[in-house]
Structure 1
């Protein structure tokens, strides 16, 4: 096999930092003289969590609790005998160090070993028939039994939800000591000042930062870590624990910051191969070595053309890179990830030469480091079109002078119907059809001529096969009138929406781009291709927040707002108040059915002649989504069954926020996440002209002053129903699209089961304590698969900042011993939008651009965190705007617990 070299694709810089806290030498000296044993004694000492740098987790989760000790267990070891002499939970320590005192009997030649955060939910401590409870741990009576314990993840976890980071350690003179100190405990008080219990995390944090080289545009798309160990030793040993590995189930989107972090247990692999170069690492990686799969889109220079000749050229490439962890101190044989470390990999993408060489130069490499499809973009007459998922159209020019001798007059497509593999009429199986009907060509006399879509059944539109055949015939016929006097022919290209009909609606949803290349020269091999094409079209799939495998109908959205920012109806007429030039039937109130609202609002204007793209009405936000629809029967009207794309209702925007991690990051409503603060407000078609504030995630307001709608201009994001397009619009649609949730209630609780949301938007671990400190765009603000909401508030007249600071130390107004906690922003929005819009309630979620954040764009807005207030989610600020509010608690729940709460 032939694969690309990494050297020109990125540079890795690895930083392993281990910060140690030194001990203070005071009066206490190591007491090794023999003492009378068995007399009452107390021991006072300090413990210290050996620190890593504060970092951001995979979705930006702030490590506010990293290094905190919430529960602590200490064993006194004498020979092989062990005794638990101290256990305390609910510590919630604010600092990295803490002083503790416990009672024992005087004794000689002993060691002190410790465990911390054993009650956390990320790891279980293994025993033969299950896992240790706290009481079973306290009963361990030999050192060997304690040292042999392994810890296994409770699921495929790469982050901490509750901040409980499992740690182990021992009393020592410094954090670098390889073994516990041996001491004697005298009768009476023992104050140890020259030693501490140093705790180390059983896992490490691995951070990747991605950037592009000079003259290169690289957009990282997804990342996925593979070969992550499930099991690790509780205490560090010479060899790793024996166990299985897992791969992340789904690739995660790379954040806008192009930086992400994950946690993993130690995985110390090394290769014994001799004379390895860095390029050889993938081929000689030991079994079970952890590696990252990074995908992205590359635009920039290449040093070879599609024939393998040395030549400057520009390319567009969809690429996949495989990056093995390790390479510490530039040791090519090193594949290690150790415990209690922070690793930082800085990846620079400089070119795609090696992708090209893997195709062109045979026998160049014999291992896999990446694949991709590369398109040369700077040739004469070449045209590349990147299209959204709705109906699109554009012009192309066919120039006879660009059609060189020897060119291949063909085409190829890659769609969900072809299994996302390239297929053309030469490679398709006998009797099978090729998926080409989504692109249609209409010939024009002049480039400036305006040509409307002639209808699905019109005879004057060409398939791509007919288009190519006509060009080839004209080239071979000197008397053809196909080209004008200048040797050019003009076409309007119509690309249909990325939708295969109501019966096959799931085809391609949230999938890959569907692509077409026409009149080309292509070389392929080993999962990659290199193409010179005259025309290359790539259309993005409809994005849906639903788990489409679970539902018979859903709705989805386009990727970007091609209409740009628009006025809602008219412009602002004074400093604060916006006037509306409403259609005659305006005033729709449905918060979840944008299509019904738009039909009601447009009223008799639905059947507009001449196309919505050119009508003045489409220049306003409430009607602009009509331009995404098409006159499918060619009668000149957008009528009845042809209204498919529409402006969402207000709570549809909120639901996009609930499931945003399941759609491609390029389609997220707020495009500057983790980069900068900016007002990006979206128009809905719900009564009172509700505006969605995407920079806050789930905040909605009425259309009013300039603060709500800067310059009176708003964004839109058009939506489409999937599986159900409905019939006569005049009779009004009856929604058959399922909600994201099922819900039941009894006297005390509301049960919410999040059954139809995409898997990526779930928090995959049940939390039994207060959520760790977090912001709206982080892992802890995701939904669990089911949760309970208490109907009755547990407290009133509390302030957001005060409540959240206490929650940072697991001091909660909720009953955390039984799993109750403060709700995050998404949980309370999901509940309140549907069932209780009254009152003012505090959440656990802080604002990433607010006063309590230190990330990019922090302190850009005078606010602290999220509160639900009288019908919508919003922000609580300082001073007078941090007003007293109620507290309603929530709890993650599994089906096995339903009966306990009356369900």
Structure 2
């Protein structure tokens, strides 16, 4: 599985430099000159979210627009040196996803930590109070909460994001925004910073389900509805080892929803699709498991399913799909019909059975191929490498096999 050309919903804010804000590991400590006043210009750019849209999908422009921006600059001891708010980037002459920002005051040269928050004024989110930040560690106390049980983001004020400065996305995360602002040639000189960028990441993951028939010959699958169980209500503004949503009250279940699209071919339905957004939810398996079937059921010594969800954390997220499955003979008469329900836990990237995670800033696509009443093939791709195909043990069906070709409810 290749990585997508536009990885994970990354926004890139350029902090560009004649002498460049550099990774401090590349500079001898004795060469760092601290405390010299310098003016900086920040160039801001973003990359489009390179995926298809569905009806519930907010679309490329809305997902990637920076409507408001708050940047912190911390000293080497991680105390706050300065912070500033910036408005819609389209007002700086850019497209709304890019522009050039001049820092409103001089800062000082030396080793810094640079962190940014975007779209904190979203009317979907509450709780983002950054006025309390005096030290770098204070950012860890900020928790964003949903205003309502939302799996879409119906706001013109954008998706909340956060990120660090780094040479690349990996160094940004590992270095927590650490960089060196070099001494200017003359005091107060304006410098455009350039070797690194602030990599902004969405708090949400984006998840799409695409349901299909594995074999369409004399078969039909009519999607009925879907729901999500254990959707997180809140998220840390800065990614941490432990999720903000940890207690039962931190989650909600959705009601059943209709599919956004239905696939109709030769007067027969063969599936449909839907998509949604969700805060990160990373819950470990309760037991050591290696087989996909164990994600939905604990099995006995004979390999038979006996205990649903025995291995999954009760707060891990899963999706329930319902529909009607038909098989026909060559004359188009119904041989079999079944009301089916498929339960699919999120996660399982890189074929790891114990992975129940949905991580921030990733786009997951779950392709569900219905084989028969009780089996599906599940293929998952994400903006990280990972693909798998397994029979789905979470399939249930009330089957009617009719010699009279009668379809019964």
Corresponding residue for residue 213 of structure 2: 212
Q: Which string of whole-angstrom CA distances, capped at 9 and with x for unpartnered residues, describes residues 459-496 of structure 1?
A: xxxxxxxxxxxxxxxxxxxxxxxxxxxxxxxxxxxxxx
3-state SS of paired residue (2:89): coil
3-state SS of paired residue (1:239): coil
CA 1:314–1:383 in 2, change beyond 3 Å: closer, same or farther?
Answer: closer
Q: Distance in 2 between matches of 1:181 and 1:111?
A: 4
- Structure 2 residue 206 is the aligned partner of structure 1 residue 241: no
Q: Distance in 1 between matches of 2:164 and 2:225?
A: 40
- Structure 2 residue 234 is the aligned partner of structure 1 residue 231: yes
CA 1:270–1:21 in 2, change beyond 3 Å: closer, same or farther?
Answer: same
CA 1:275–1:144 in 2, change beyond 3 Å: closer, same or farther?
Answer: closer
Q: Which string of whole-angstrom CA distances, capped at 9 and with x for unpartnered residues, describes residues 781-824 of structure 1?
A: xxxxxxxxxxxxxxxxxxxxxxxxxxxxxxxxxxxxxxxxxxxx
Following superposition, the deviation at residue 252 of structure 1 comes to: 3.4
CA contact (8 A) 2:10 2:201 kept: no
Q: Distance in 2 between matches of 1:165 and 1:107?
A: 32
Corresponding residue for residue 298 of structure 1: 325
Following superposition, the deviation at residue 293 of structure 1 comes to: 0.7
What is the aligned length? 341
Corresponding residue for residue 71 of structure 1: 68
Counterparts of 1:689-708 in structure 2 under 5 Å?
A: none
3-state SS of paired residue (2:343): strand
CA 1:139–1:60 in 2, change beyond 3 Å: closer, same or farther?
Answer: closer
Corresponding residue for residue 268 of structure 1: 282
Following superposition, the deviation at residue 297 of structure 1 comes to: 0.8
- Structure 2 residue 265 is the aligned partner of structure 1 residue 253: no
CA contact (8 A) 1:316 1:376 kept: yes
Q: Kindly indicate which of the two structures has a greater share of residues assigned to helix.
A: 1
Counterparts of 1:678-697 in structure 2 under 5 Å?
A: none
- Structure 2 residue 376 is the aligned partner of structure 1 residue 376: no
Q: Which string of whole-angstrom CA distances, capped at 9 and with x for unpartnered residues, describes residues 195-250 of structure 1?
A: 11211111110011111121221111111111111111101112212441111134
Q: Which string of whole-angstrom CA distances, capped at 9 and with x for unpartnered residues, describes residues 403-446 of structure 1?
A: xxxxxxxxxxxxxxxxxxxxxxxxxxxxxxxxxxxxxxxxxxxx
Corresponding residue for residue 80 of structure 2: 82
3-state SS of paired residue (2:261): coil
Following superposition, the deviation at residue 20 of structure 1 comes to: 6.3
Task: Pick one of 315, 318, 343 that aligns with 2:336.
Answer: 315
Corresponding residue for residue 168 of structure 1: 162
CA 1:60–1:168 in 2, change beyond 3 Å: closer, same or farther?
Answer: closer
CA 1:73–1:286 in 2, change beyond 3 Å: closer, same or farther?
Answer: same
- Structure 2 residue 171 is the aligned partner of structure 1 residue 157: no
Corresponding residue for residue 562 of structure 1: none
Corresponding residue for residue 109 of structure 1: 111
TM-score relative to the length of structure 1:
0.35
Corresponding residue for residue 28 of structure 1: 19
Q: Which runs of 5+ in 1 are unaligned?
A: 1-12, 127-131, 303-312, 356-366, 385-535, 539-903
Following superposition, the deviation at residue 89 of structure 1 comes to: 2.1
3-state SS of paired residue (1:337): coil
Q: Which string of whole-angstrom CA distances, capped at 9 and with x for unpartnered residues, describes residues 82-101 of structure 1?
A: 24422122334625443321
Corresponding residue for residue 198 of structure 1: 199
Following superposition, the deviation at residue 119 of structure 1 comes to: 0.7
Q: Distance in 1 between matches of 2:80 and 2:339?
A: 58
3-state SS of paired residue (1:314): strand
Q: Which runs of 5+ in 2 are unaligned?
A: 264-271, 297-308, 377-391
Q: Which string of whole-angstrom CA distances, capped at 9 and with x for unpartnered residues, describes residues 98-156 of structure 1?
A: 33210233242211111110111122135xxxxx3xxxx24521211123211111111
Q: Distance in 2 between matches of 1:218 and 1:14?
A: 30
Corresponding residue for residue 446 of structure 1: none
CA 1:14–1:225 in 2, change beyond 3 Å: closer, same or farther?
Answer: farther
CA contact (8 A) 2:327 2:337 kept: yes
CA contact (8 A) 1:57 1:63 kept: no
3-state SS of paired residue (1:267): coil
Following superposition, the deviation at residue 383 of structure 1 comes to: 3.2
- Larger relative contact order (C-alpha < 8 A, sep ≥ 6)? 2
Q: Which string of whole-angstrom CA distances, capped at 9 and with x for unpartnered residues, describes residues 4-61 of structure 1?
A: xxxxxxxxx998753768989975342863335263x211123344654244256354
Corresponding residue for residue 353 of structure 2: 332
Q: Which string of whole-angstrom CA distances, capped at 9 and with x for unpartnered residues, describes residues 161-213 of structure 1?
A: 12411011122111232221321353422211111121111111001111112
Q: Distance in 2 between matches of 1:105 and 1:36?
A: 11
Q: Distance in 2 between matches of 1:281 and 1:145?
A: 37
Higher-Rg structure is: 1
CA contact (8 A) 1:15 1:342 kept: no
Q: Which string of whole-angstrom CA distances, capped at 9 and with x for unpartnered residues, describes residues 720-753 of structure 1?
A: xxxxxxxxxxxxxxxxxxxxxxxxxxxxxxxxxx
CA 1:353–1:301 in 2, change beyond 3 Å: closer, same or farther?
Answer: farther
Q: Which string of whole-angstrom CA distances, capped at 9 and with x for unpartnered residues, describes residues 541-592 of structure 1?
A: xxxxxxxxxxxxxxxxxxxxxxxxxxxxxxxxxxxxxxxxxxxxxxxxxxxx
3-state SS of paired residue (1:193): coil
Task: Pick one of 125, 139, 147 that aligns with 2:140.
Answer: 147
3-state SS of paired residue (2:198): strand
CA contact (8 A) 2:225 2:256 kept: no
CA 1:353–1:72 in 2, change beyond 3 Å: closer, same or farther?
Answer: closer
Following superposition, the deviation at residue 349 of structure 1 comes to: 0.3
CA contact (8 A) 1:220 1:254 kept: no
Q: Distance in 1 between matches of 2:315 and 2:138?
A: 27
- Structure 2 residue 305 is the aligned partner of structure 1 residue 280: no
CA 1:101–1:295 in 2, change beyond 3 Å: closer, same or farther?
Answer: same
CA contact (8 A) 1:38 1:106 kept: yes
CA contact (8 A) 1:44 1:100 kept: yes
Q: Distance in 1 between matches of 2:237 and 2:406?
A: 59
C-alpha RMSD over aligned residues? 3.1
CA contact (8 A) 1:83 1:140 kept: no
CA contact (8 A) 2:15 2:43 kept: no
Q: Distance in 2 between matches of 1:19 and 1:268?
A: 19
3-state SS of paired residue (1:86): strand
CA 1:106–1:26 in 2, change beyond 3 Å: closer, same or farther?
Answer: closer
Q: Distance in 2 between matches of 1:20 and 1:85?
A: 22
Corresponding residue for residue 184 of structure 1: 181
3-state SS of paired residue (1:64): helix
TM-score relative to the length of structure 2:
0.75
CA 1:47–1:235 in 2, change beyond 3 Å: closer, same or farther?
Answer: farther
CA 1:138–1:324 in 2, change beyond 3 Å: closer, same or farther?
Answer: same
CA 1:347–1:218 in 2, change beyond 3 Å: closer, same or farther?
Answer: same
3-state SS of paired residue (1:65): helix
CA 1:235–1:21 in 2, change beyond 3 Å: closer, same or farther?
Answer: closer
Q: Distance in 2 between matches of 1:161 and 1:14?
A: 31
Following superposition, the deviation at residue 373 of structure 1 comes to: 2.0
Corresponding residue for residue 47 of structure 1: 44
CA 1:173–1:382 in 2, change beyond 3 Å: closer, same or farther?
Answer: closer
CA 1:160–1:14 in 2, change beyond 3 Å: closer, same or farther?
Answer: farther
